[in-house]
Structure 1
């Protein structure tokens, strides 16, 4: 087998924002690639720059922000692209799963209305064809009674259901890259597992590359092929998931790994009880 082709290439990425006190640098000289079918995990504490990285790749930063460097999607430069062109790419070629599903949908329009509009914006399907594709996509993420869900509004669905609706939107458009920003935040364990299964299905069925942003190291350990650790807007360590978890080299990475909740060893507990 040959080397998988690089779908997304980021080099020399710097992000600065203008404030009343002058310019503040948010991201410092980021370099990374995403290969076809790869899941790249991005971890770090709150405020480390994970979401800024995500929004920069999607060209969603505001006018007070300066973005320097290169962001190439299949060889096409995205940095500095006209907003109209970027809107064509966003959703179709780069999918986005937000961390708060309750804020991802407009409450005054039905799920079906928003789903169909998304499909038709990026395809030549008729309204009827888009409706049928939406229903099939909801079935694929194990949502019961898809035709009823399409009639409902976001406030009528749970967070876990809305998260799967977002994944269904991504899957039906078959993007080259999906950026998943904290996709399991605020979900119970059952829904977390379902969402992770859908992401794996998206990768295996569509060959989609996934940038998985999470503070949950167990999710990263389960899903990612490679992991980047971010601190203060810099990538301080990058390695395969096995190398990073078993043999971290950076002091901050070691601190993150040591901060994980450690379950007590049941055998040790039994020994203590017997000794007592």
Structure 2
């Protein structure tokens, strides 16, 4: 029992099926993993391997009419699978944060950043509007967003993708969730913004003790931030290991192919060409 309490999130026997003309089609099969406080688990695999479906099932965001989620999803020993809509809504944002691949999808375009930030805080706390506004400003300042008071008055389309990602991280940091699911958080960003987002995610886990499920096909991002890695292939986890072991001594053939597919830059060859 003591061992179980050490884990923030425990997923066991997770299976996701969707209705089709041919019957129930399996999308994700027999997923098992655990996460400790402040731990970063990287979930990697090619497009279509089941990474996003897995995170959507953890958040209970899949259409309940067309999909069936089986297995156990326990947050602090509380079972989430099958939880009511309202109960799950109170957990999302407060206990489990979600950073989307396309940050524009996370914000309503007709409301300012400040309105949405403050509403999110007040939904999950007893703070007044003034207190929520002050918390939002300090949280944005903490992730190095310039002129937070000015940004609060802007609309989502007036901010770059990198800035919107950092706003989402600021929201997660101020609510101090137990777990943050980051689904390809750096894919649409340039190298500079990628580095800033990774630094803020690292701060989130070190300062708040938040566990992060980092979903990415970018092995460089995984190597930079993850403690452990789970490799997905065709809806299954085919290998789990700590990040050093997986990169230095991969065991599964698919993992080896994934690592060998990484782009490389032949520096010596480039130097010789210029010489």
> TM-score by structure 2 length?
0.96
Q: Provide closer, same or farther for how the CA distance between residues 209 and 108 of structure 1 changes in structure 2, counting only shifts above 3 A.
A: same
Match of 1:173 among 150, 169, 175: 175
SS at match of 1:6: coil
Where in structure 2 are there 5+ consecutive unaligned residues? none
SS of the aligned residue for 2:251 comes to coil
1:233 aligns with 2:235: yes
| Partners of 1:127 and 1:265 in 2: CA distance | 55
2:6 and 2:264 mapped to 1: Cα distance?
38
* Whole-angstrom CA distance in 2 between matches of 1:185 and 1:166: 15
The equivalences for 1:10-159 within 5 A come to: 10-62=11-63, 63-159=65-161
> TM-score, normalization: structure 1?
0.96
- Match runs of 1:192-211 below 5 Å: 192-211=194-213
Deviations, residues 108-164 of structure 1 (Å, cap 9, x unaligned): 011011101100000000000000100000000100110110110000000000000
The CA deviation at 1:265 is 3.5
Judged with a 3 Å threshold, the aligned counterparts in structure 2 of structure 1 residues 142 and 271 are, in CA distance, closer, same or farther, namely: closer
Q: State the secondary structure of the residue aligned to 2:46.
A: coil
Q: How many residues in Structure 1 have an aligned counterpart in Structure 2?
A: 272
2:188 aligns with: 186
Query: Which consecutive segments of 4 or more residues in structure 1 shift more than 4 A?
Result: 268-274
User: Any idea what the Cα deviations from partners look like across 1:54-99, whole Å, max 9, x if unmatched?
Assistant: 1000000102100110000000000000010000000000000000
Residues 183-210 of structure 1 show CA distances to partners (whole Å, capped at 9, x for unaligned) of 0011000000000000000011000000
CA–CA separation in structure 1 for the residues paired with 2:224 and 2:180? 18
How many angstroms does 1:273 deviate by?
A: 7.6
Secondary structure, in 3 states, of the residue corresponding to 2:177? Answer: coil
Displacement of 1:269 in angstroms is 5.0
Mapping for residues 264-275 of structure 1, pairs under 5 Å = 264-266=266-268, 268-270=269-271
Q: Distance in 2 between matches of 1:129 and 1:270?
A: 57
Question: For each residue in 1:215-244, what CA deviation from the matched residue of structure 2 results, as whole angstroms up to 9, or x when unmatched?
Answer: 110000110000000011100000000000
CA RMSD of aligned residues (A): 1.5
* Aligned-partner Cα distance in 2 for 1:273–1:116: 55
